[in-house]
Structure 1
């Protein structure tokens, strides 16, 4: 067991858990004698503190990296889900439109969900309108061909 671990255990065992306990413990504290540390002891204490701080910083950086990895994984899964959903709808969506939807999901928050739904509906509406125009044009062309034949 390292000195650092020993100190951490002692602090955890003796630290008051509530503010009331803290007040109770500070009321009965008698003024202590001034404690003197040798330069070697001060150096060792500072070394332990620095090492502990470095370890905590490394843990924080590792957790931040892990969070970034998880966010990337979530975004990738969201993108795959969007693609799967759009493919299952048999929508003929361009890469640009797909990228737009991906960006909307990437910037997702519960406050802008209505905006996302509205934008996706508009996107689908535009595609539907284009499709209806194509169908209308094809029907007109077919009528013209039929009239020409007769």
Structure 2
């Protein structure tokens, strides 16, 4: 057998290998469709810091630059974030009214879309368990699993 003929046979055999793998893969079941669930970025992570910086931007004019958050709930899904937190000064000497916020990632930054205090407000949109129906109407692309359920307990201040 000459070298040219053996190269053609070798190349032909290589062309058949991918088809053999395809036939065996066709018998395997299709992967299940997964529904994404909200995630909570861990403390100290870049994503959590970016979300809290977006929220801080909205509150810093009221509290001053030394603002940190005690987070009781943080959910992130598909470029949206829901947060329930207690803002306070870094040393804990000054504590502010608990807040809830809906943020959206836009052009690489987290931007507050809705911001409200918890309770004690005459504004019906300021409830800790915000009217999720109205939020979904206002933001149709908002993932439904991101928001707390209507039967979820209200935010309690973390000591």
TM-score, normalised by the number of residues in structure 1: 0.26
TM-score, normalised by the number of residues in structure 2: 0.24
Q: Determine which structure has more spread, i.e. the larger CA radius of gyration.
A: 1
Richer in strand (by share):
2
